[in-house]
């Protein structure tokens, strides 16, 4: 390499270093800001996680303390003092309703459940549970047709309280002396793969109490479904 080429290369290296230095001086704060943001974001994430865990622990402790009281009325009063929002508030409300029911205040319990079922900030699983329990509590005060409509809405596919609602509809059929419809409802529970052991046991017991054979009833229903499918 000639002296001239070596000199040119040295000059180019100096120019590049100078440009890099100028660029860093001009935009280096951006890189620093990114680093600060990343570090700050990680710190905030840890802080938020810790705060959420502490809030959940505090809520759990408050609920447990409230439920440790012997008198239902005292438990209700303690639960009412808990500051919670969203699903946490729904859970405390459901517990309050349970304690009110234990205190023989079914009407007040149903009103509390209504407040949960109408709360748009609460997940559907809590709203539907509140609706289901309120319908049960109003068995003696709400017209059978209204209860049937309520349980029917909860018996739709995908609802976690679907089969329990089917059971309640079948019981309403028994009350209405529509034994054929009742047997169909209980048989549907026995055939459903999602039915729990307890639910199956109750359905089988009701079928026997209504004078039918559970095994024959389910077998007949299966034959009818197969024939309908083939048609």
pLDDT tens digit sequence for 24-51 = 455 444 444 444 455 555 554 554 555 5
Q: Flag whether 191 is in a domain.
A: yes
Range in 79-83, 141-145, 183-187 with the lowest mean pLDDT: 79-83
Instruction: Quote the mean pLDDT of the chain.
Output: 78
Q: Flag whether 42 is in a domain.
A: no
Classify residue 221 as exposed, middle or buried by CB count within 10 Å of its CB (0-12, 13-18, 19+): middle
Q: Which range marks the domain in which residue 148 is found?
A: 143-231
Q: Flag whether 189 is in a domain.
A: yes
Q: Would you say residue 18 has pLDDT above 70?
A: no
**Residue 21 — pLDDT band, cuts 50, 70, 90?**
low
Q: Would you say residue 128 has pLDDT above 80?
A: yes
How much is the average pLDDT of 206-210? 95
CA dihedral 215, 187, 167, 145 (to 10 degrees): -140
Q: Would you say residue 149 has pLDDT above 50?
A: yes
pLDDT value for 67: 73
Q: Would you say residue 113 has pLDDT above 90?
A: yes
Q: Would you say residue 180 has pLDDT above 50?
A: yes
Range in 40-49, 153-162, 222-231 with the lowest mean pLDDT: 222-231
Number of neighbouring beta carbons within 10 Å of residue 200: 17
How much is the average pLDDT of 104-116? 93
Q: Flag whether 32 is in a domain.
A: no
Q: Would you say residue 148 has pLDDT above 90?
A: yes
Q: Flag whether 217 is in a domain.
A: yes
Q: Would you say residue 202 has pLDDT above 80?
A: yes
pLDDT above 90 coverage of the chain, percent: 47
- Residue among 98, 107, 99, 108 at smallest CA distance from 73: 99
- Residue among 137, 140, 197, 134 at smallest CA distance from 163: 197
Q: Flag whether 228 is in a domain.
A: yes
pLDDT value for 151: 97
How much is the average pLDDT of 216-229? 53
* Cα–Cα distance measured from residue 58 to residue 6, given in angstroms and rounded to the nearest whole number: 73
∠ at Cα 148 (146, 150), nearest 5°? 70
* Cα–Cα distance measured from residue 207 to residue 45, given in angstroms and rounded to the nearest whole number: 56
Domains: count for the chain: 1
**Residue 231 — pLDDT band, cuts 50, 70, 90?**
very low
Q: Flag whether 99 is in a domain.
A: no
pLDDT value for 223: 37
Q: Flag whether 202 is in a domain.
A: yes
pTM for the whole thing?
Answer: 0.69
Number of neighbouring beta carbons within 10 Å of residue 153: 13
């Amino acid at each position: 390499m000639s002296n001239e080429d070596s000199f040119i290369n040295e000059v180019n290296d100096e120019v590049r270093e100078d440009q890099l230095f100028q660029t860093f001086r001009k935009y280096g704060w951006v890189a620093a800001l990114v680093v600060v943001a990343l570090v700050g974001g990680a710190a905030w994430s840890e802080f938020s996680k810790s705060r959420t865990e502490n809030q959940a622990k505090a809520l759990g402790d408050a609920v447990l303390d409230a439920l440790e009281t012997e008198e239902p009325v005292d438990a209700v009063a303690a639960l009412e003092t808990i500051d919670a929002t969203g699903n946490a508030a729904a859970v405390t409300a459901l517990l309050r309703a349970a304690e009110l029911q234990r205190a023989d205040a079914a009407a007040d319990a149903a009103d509390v459940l209504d407040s949960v079922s109408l709360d748009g900030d609460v997940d559907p699983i809590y709203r539907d549970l509140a609706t289901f329990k309120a319908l049960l509590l109003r068995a003696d005060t709400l017209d059978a047709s209204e209860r049937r409509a309520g349980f029917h809405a909860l018996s739709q596919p995908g609802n976690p309280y679907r089969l329990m609602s089917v059971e309640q509809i079948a019981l309403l059929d028994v009350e209405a002396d529509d034994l054929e419809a009742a047997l169909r409802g209980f048989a549907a529970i026995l055939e459903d793969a999602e039915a729990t052991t307890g639910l199956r046991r109750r359905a089988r017991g009701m079928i026997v109490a209504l004078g039918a054979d559970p095994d024959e009833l389910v077998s007949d229903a299966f034959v009818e479904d197969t024939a309908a499918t083939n048609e």
